[in-house]
Every structure is written in C-alpha cells, then in structure tokens.
Structure 1
Amino acid sequence: MTDDAVESILKIHKKYKSQNKICGYAFLRAFPDGKVNGKKFDVDEKIGSYIDVRVNGDDTGADKAEVFKTHCLKEFPFPEYPNEKFLGEDLVWVRMAREYEMVHINRAIYVGNYLEGGLTNNRRKHNIASPIGCMHRAEEFMESDLKTRYRIKGGLQYIVYGRFAGVKVVDLIRKSKHKVLATVCTPGGLFLHSRWSKAQ
C-alpha cells in the first residue's frame, strides 16, 4: 500500500459515503517502477457499475485496488463449492454491479508485482481445478447486460468448465438460463476443453 492509501480512501469515502447506491471505490494499482497496471479510467471519479465501467468499458485485463463497504460484501458473499479452492472475484463484482455502482479514482494506492508461480500467471490451471465455481462465474457473464463478446466468452467457458466438472453437454444446456447461447457455444467449448485437457 502507498503511504497515503488510507488517507486517500477516507477522503473519497467522506465525499461519497451518503450515496447509498455506491458499494465502494476502485483505485489504481501500480508496478514498483511507478507504471500503472493496465490503464487509467477515462474520467477521474467516474461513477458507474463494475459492468459498465470495467467489463463493457473493456478494462478487465488489469487488476485494480477495490475498496468495498462491508455491508455490500455481506449482501453478496463469496459462494463456496466443496473441494474447490479458487474462484475469480469478479463473479461477486458482477453480481454486485446489478445493484450498486462504484467510484473509479485515478490514484494508485497499491503497488505490487506478479510472481511467476502466482495466481494471475496460473489462472487457467486453478480454474480447471475449481470448475464448478468457474462454471457459475461464466453464467454471470452470459447475461444480456454485458457486451456480446463477453457473453460469447462466458458461453464458451460455461461449456469448458462444465465439462471439466463432469457435467454432460445436454445437462449443461438444459440447466442454463441462456440455452440458445449455450448451444451456439457448445462446439467451440468442446474444442477448448479437448485442447486444454491435452495441455494438462
């Protein structure tokens, strides 16, 4: 954390704490050399949901330093799946975004790098080892409030991780709220499942 991280959080919270539809604040992260991780927000202190600003705004490829109000995290707890140890946090961020907005601040309060053997650089491996949670995460990205390309990606991942979880394709389609999208994504999902299985 930067020396002024807590001060920056408290300052922005004082400004926005009375707005009940705001669940938290997204600050920037930076590398040790000072370079911003990813890109800055197009507008400083931009108010919008995680879906509108980060996903549909095509800014999902880099980590940010999120600070959430406790009651909002309690309202949207992280789901737990037996024998699974990994789950992308954006499953919760997307669910929360359908009820709340965030303030996006162009100030880095978190400085860090990535380990070669860390979660970020080995995400697919961890996803495959926790396929049910990843399948449910993919379902959230198939919803109609996301851009088409993210919905298609979600559909592919739904099939891929569903198969890694041992669920039959016919059951994946039957259980999906987005049967047409799941059906369309089945050939590509099965191809990816085969390819990733061989790479294990």
Structure 2
Amino acid sequence: MFDNKLTIFTPTYNRGDIIHKCYKSLCDQTNTNFTWLIVDDGSTDNTETVINTFIKENKINIIYIKQKNGGKHVAHNTGVLKCKTELFVCVDSDDYLTLDAVQEIYSAWEKVPDVSDLAGIIALKGISDKEPIGTWMPKNIQYSSTFDLYDKYKFKGDTLLVFKTNILREYLFPVFEGEKFVTEAVVYDLISQKHRMKLINKVLYLCEYLEDGLTRNLLQVHRNNKQGYMHYLLQRIEIATEKKSKYKAVSNYIAGCLRIKSFYYYKKLDLKWLKIITLPRALWVYTKPHLKKTLIKYNLYNKLVK
C-alpha cells in the first residue's frame, strides 16, 4: 500500500436517501487508498446521520464537512481548500465509480511525466463501463486540454476530471451574491489556457443521463443565476484568440442574453461590430433548442436528422 495521493470529493445537498450507492462503490474499490471528502451544502434531510453511520463502519477514510447552503461551486471551493492530497476528483452523490476506478487513476498517474503544464487526468463517464455518455476519446491523442478536447478534437460527452489539487487552488470558482450556480467550465476553461491533461479512454464514472430533463432544468438555472452564467459567456469571449472562436463566443453570449431575457448584458458588451455581424448566428443558437423541442413533440426530429 502506497501513500494516499487521492481525495474523492462529493458535494451533497439533501441526498441522504441515495448517497449510499456512491458509498458502496467506494467501499468496493479494488484500491481503497483514498480519502472521501464530503461537503454537505446545508442539507435539511438525514444526510448527516447517514454519513455518520458510514464513518462508524470504518470501511474507508471519510471526512465530513457541513456548511451553509451556497451551491455546488461554493462546496467545491471548500473541498479544494480542505483537501490534503496531491490529486482531487469530484464524484456527485447520486453517481458512482467503476470498481477499478481508483486503481486506474493511480496507475495512469504513475506514468504521467512530472511537468508543470500537466494538470491531471481525463477519463470517461458512462451509463455502463462499456458505454460512454457521448464518444470515446480521440484516437492517437494522449494529452489535451479540456477545451481542445471538445473544440479541436470534437469530443462529445461527459468526462471524469482528476486534477492536481495545487492547480485547482489557483482557480477557485467565483461567487456571486444571491446566486447558487456557476458552471464548472468557468474553471476548466481557465486551466485549459496553461495546462494539458492525460487522456484515459475508459469509463471510470457511472451515472444516469437524462438529456431532456437536464436541458429543461438548465435553462431555469441560468435564469436564476444570471451573473454566473454571463460571467462564463464573457470569459469565453475574453479567452478566444482566433477570429472564428471569437465570433462563436460573441454569438453564444448574445444567445445567452436572449435566454435569460436580459438587455442589460447585451448593452454591457462593448464589441459593437461583432455584436452586429454575429446576430444571425446568435438567433439560430437561441432558436435551435426550441425548434428541436417542437420537432420532437410532433415526431419529426429523427426523420429530418436522418
């Protein structure tokens, strides 16, 4: 048994009835040399009682922290700041890991060269260990930033991200008063500007994927957390270096203004000419989900796609 280098971080809020599935997957790991750090974001159910039961069973090393409700991104900041290991990975309370996930992370990390621009590991999420949510990793690519993985290599789907803790401490989530959501991409985009990740073409994280429910809920989440949402879209404009990516980022920003029904953020953006020439694409980006929803309703979407 080697030194514990890994913290599995779980933010949770009122998940006392389902977190046992995540717990069981951690207890059943082929390598249990890790710390399970749980940050309870102000649960009002029996989560604390359930976790205390887990701790008493003494099957794995558990650290439990309870704080005032502030949102997953605030819980993530707490977890990063309290983490005492080299590596940090987030596993949500309603998801779980494949039984060899911890060992796969250790094995991959041992082979990663110790260079400053490598920030961690990217593996796959799936609905089973044989079926990823989206595509498999691009062929013949061992290292990539998270941004390039999607933008350059056209990967689609969800990933498990294992980061060096000291790098995450440099990129804590921004916190906006009165808001409880900031997309994880805010942090990952910034890390991508300076760091690459080791790619693992294997499913290590298992979860359910309900696309329609996520899309529907996410729209309301954005409207309830306008500052965080527009901060993310503005950051995408600021980090865009090529004309094509800048054009895309501005049009997505304008579409975001339409989604949250805010003329304030549109006026706040200074890029006058780009705001004009990107308007047609912005309207399409805004309209496309509504059009897709309508086509699905009348059973026309699959026919048109084919």
Q: Same fold (TM over 0.5)?
A: yes
CA 1:11–1:173 in 2, change beyond 3 Å: closer, same or farther? same
Q: Confirm or deny: 8 A CA contact 1:114 1:120 kept in the other structure.
A: no
**1:132-178 Cα shifts (integer Å, max 9, x gaps):** 21112112322434682x5444323323444637453663233xxx5
Normalising by structure 1, we get a TM-score of 0.78
Partner of 1:97: 192
Within 2, Cα distance between the matches of 1:113 and 1:90?
Answer: 20
Partner of 1:48: 144
AA at the equivalent of 2:191: M
Q: Confirm or deny: 8 A CA contact 1:77 1:92 kept in the other structure.
A: yes
Partner of 2:123: 27
For the residue of structure 1 that corresponds to 2:251, the secondary structure is helix
CA 1:170–1:111 in 2, change beyond 3 Å: closer, same or farther? closer
Q: Confirm or deny: 8 A CA contact 2:129 2:206 kept in the other structure.
A: no
AA at the equivalent of 2:119: C
AA at the equivalent of 1:181: L
CA 1:6–1:137 in 2, change beyond 3 Å: closer, same or farther? same
Gaps of at least 5 residues in structure 1 are none
CA 1:127–1:152 in 2, change beyond 3 Å: closer, same or farther? farther
- How many residues were matched structurally? 191
Residue 185 of structure 1 pairs with residue 278 of structure 2 = yes
AA at the equivalent of 1:36: P
Structure in which a larger fraction of residues adopt strand: 2
Q: Quick one: percent identity of the two aligned structures?
A: 25
Q: 1:8 aligns with which of 91, 104, 107?
A: 104
1:71-82 alignment runs, 5 A limit: 71-82=166-177
For the residue of structure 1 that corresponds to 2:169, the secondary structure is helix
Gaps of at least 5 residues in structure 2 are 1-96, 291-306
Partner of 1:85: 180
AA at the equivalent of 2:199: H
Within 2, Cα distance between the matches of 1:22 and 1:168?
Answer: 39
CA 1:113–1:151 in 2, change beyond 3 Å: closer, same or farther? farther
Task: Give RMSD over aligned pairs.
Answer: 3.1
Q: Confirm or deny: 8 A CA contact 1:55 1:146 kept in the other structure.
A: no
AA at the equivalent of 1:106: N
Within 1, Cα distance between the matches of 2:140 and 2:107?
Answer: 14
